[in-house]
Amino acid sequence: MDMHDCDHEFLAAARAEAAAGLAEGGIPIGCVIVHAGRIIGRGHNRRVQQGSVIRHGEMDAFENAGRQDARVYRECTLYTTLSPCAMCSGAIVLYGIPRVVIGENRSFRGEDDWLRSRGVELVLADDAGCSELMARFMREQPALWHEDIGEP
């Protein structure tokens, strides 16, 4: 699927969240949830900062968006700097998010095929900024990356 004009702006906001997470000593994955042209939830991976097992960027954005009417989530686009893992993909499907813009999926190929099979429209931005941020992090913090992603 194609990028919309506003997608670049919102993906940049997700990338800024990822950079904030890195600056805090965490894993640089960011996310924003947008409803009717307005960010209703933003977040970044806070596993390190909060000692959390579930605070991925998407989960943090959902938490910060808070309790919304189901209709609201069914009208949102979620922007994430990295392909969503199984946990985050489950939340996307659970709350009926119809469209997800992914910054990049080379560093980690999450549940893209499963999300599509569940009717979610995926847009791969293949964003150089997202890719560079993750590549640098993976080079500089390989142990932390493997801890987060569950690979040896």
What one-character-per-residue DSSP string does 44-85 give?
E--HHHHT-SS--HHHHHHHHH-S--HHHHTTEEEEEEE---
Position 57: which residue type?
G
What values do phi and psi take at 15, rounded to 5?
Answer: -65, -40
Residue 20 class from Cβ within 10 Å (0-12 exposed, 13-18 middle, 19+ buried)?
A: middle
Residue 148 to residue 11: CA distance in whole angstroms = 22
Which segments of the chain are extended strands (E)? 30-35, 38-44, 76-82, 99-104, 121-124
Among 9, 17, 24, 58, which one carries the catalytic annotation?
A: 58
User: Active site includes 140?
Assistant: no
Q: Which active-site residues does the annotation give? A: 58
